[in-house]
Structure 1
Amino acid sequence: MKSAYQYDIHLPANYDPNQKYPTIFTLHGKGSDEKNMFQLVEPLNEQFIIVGIRGNLRLGMGFQFYELKSLGNPIREMFDLAIQNLESFIRYATEKYPIDANKRYLLGFSQGAILSMSLALTMGDQLRGIVALNGYVPHFVKAEYSLQSIEDVSMFISHGEYDSVFPIQIGYETAEYFQKKTSKVTFNIYPSDHGVSEGNRTDFVQWLMEDAEVSMNN
């Protein structure tokens, strides 16, 4: 199997090739890259494998996973293909590296958060959990995709109170949508614009460590 994406992989410092590890796949925002995302999750690299996925479409000095017709309106064909390719990539990486298939997490910001939440809905309990920072779920995903149960998927959703790209109301609507589908939703608002505050980072790092520890004890 060949990867549709370039990526960085960071193995734990005391890596044991005979052990399977919980893993975080990061998905960056529009115009960014996988290296920016690693800065957010670097404190977790002692316990987790970190796989930073780079969007396959160039945008300025960075990359993206799909293009838009307008703000909040992905080009459907490109979005569909990104979802398919990312599902395939997660399978590819799980086969290639010592990844525990029962402890796979997605962590995305903006476009990456949109993809992470959509993938939670298409992959269901193939994922242990997701962290979605300042995103939403496109209407066509909710209305037209084949959706899986996410009852057992842990979710950390956060939004900036002063987000000038996706207004805070979108954050409330997104959280409400998922709270109807699973009881495992943490929803936090931070006094920030369209970005990740230090408080947000501290909270999701702690959340991931605790959730992975719970999964190891079950």
Structure 2
Amino acid sequence: MYEYKIDIPSSINITTPVVITIHGMGSNYDDLNTLVPAIIGNAVSIHLQGDLSFGAGYAFFIPDFTKYSEESIIRLVIDKIYATITKIIADNNLQQQPIYLIGFSQGAIIGTGLINLYADFLTKVWLFSGRMPTFIAESGQKLTTKTKTDVFVSQGLIDPLFEPKVGQAIAKNLGSHVRTLQYKEYPSGHTIHVNAIVDD
């Protein structure tokens, strides 16, 4: 299991979502916690932290695919994150709650995998400044029925890592099989534009 922080409000009901946050490379589980009340409001928050040291923080995988394929590395991470989330949810008796996810950069990459590889696991997803690996895209192309997942994708117009066409490709793939898809571009780099927090 990944290291994590969990915050359970004093008052929840069956409609209160469980929100998973997955940070980008070089950060930690505190990076996205302020987005939960800003975007969603009252929610159970589970903030995951990568298990690999990277810079001043952590990563879930190192993007070096010279020795092992991208699929073998990233698929293992996605499966481990899915197992971690389901265990935390079961341990805290939260199985009846809708599950949301907020992912930035590497977290957004992982988010695309959870959507396409674990159909109907997530109710709502926000993907900020990410990309979709080929094997995840191919999994999505095999889905023939609409899932129950609503997705918001944002991309920076001057993102030096993932240019707009990368975000557009995510939106095109997911748009074919998720319940709803919103895609927006912002005049920003590799970050979460302030308007992306309120535009959904």
TM-score (norm 1): 0.81
What SS does structure 2 have at the residue aligned with 1:152? coil
Partner of 1:167: 163
CA offsets per residue over residues 120-141 of structure 1, 9 Å max, x none?
1111112112110011210022
CA offsets per residue over residues 145-179 of structure 1, 9 Å max, x none?
89655532110111111111101111112111111
Structure 2 residue 83 is the aligned partner of structure 1 residue 84: no
Cα distance in 2 for partners of 1:74, 1:39 equals: 34
Contact 2:26–2:55 (8 Å) recurs in 1: yes
Partner of 2:7: 10
1:44-83 correspondence runs (5 A):
46-69=41-64, 75-83=70-78
Number of equivalences: 196
Cα distance in 2 for partners of 1:146, 1:86 equals: 22
Cα distance in 2 for partners of 1:117, 1:59 equals: 22
Partner of 1:200: 196
What SS does structure 2 have at the residue aligned with 1:68? coil
Structure 2 residue 88 is the aligned partner of structure 1 residue 93: yes
Which residue of 174, 181, 195 maps to 1:185? Answer: 181
Unaligned runs of 5+ in 2: none
Compute the displacement of 1:86 (Å): 0.7
Q: Percent identity between the aligned chains?
A: 24
Compute the displacement of 1:143 (Å): 3.0
Partner of 2:17: 22
Compute the displacement of 1:40 (Å): 2.2
What SS does structure 1 have at the residue aligned with 2:161? coil
Compute the displacement of 1:69 (Å): 2.0
Question: Cα RMSD between the aligned structures?
Answer: 2.3
Residues 179 and 60 of structure 1, relative CA distance in 2, 3 Å threshold? same
Structure 2 residue 156 is the aligned partner of structure 1 residue 156: no
Contact 2:117–2:139 (8 Å) recurs in 1: no
Partner of 1:137: 132
Residues 74 and 164 of structure 1, relative CA distance in 2, 3 Å threshold? farther
Cα distance in 2 for partners of 1:181, 1:44 equals: 24
Which residue of 26, 32, 35 maps to 1:37? Answer: 32
TM-score (norm 2): 0.88
Contact 1:121–1:150 (8 Å) recurs in 2: no
Between Structure 1 and Structure 2, the one with more helix by share is: 1
Q: Aligned partner of 1:127: which letter?
A: L
Compute the displacement of 1:42 (Å): 3.5
Compute the displacement of 1:66 (Å): 0.8
Q: Aligned partner of 1:103: which letter?
A: P
Q: Aligned partner of 2:4: which letter?
A: Y
Compute the displacement of 1:44 (Å): 5.5
Cα distance in 2 for partners of 1:120, 1:147 equals: 13
What SS does structure 1 have at the residue aligned with 2:147? coil
Unaligned runs of 5+ in 1: 208-218
Cα distance in 1 for partners of 2:141, 2:171 equals: 20
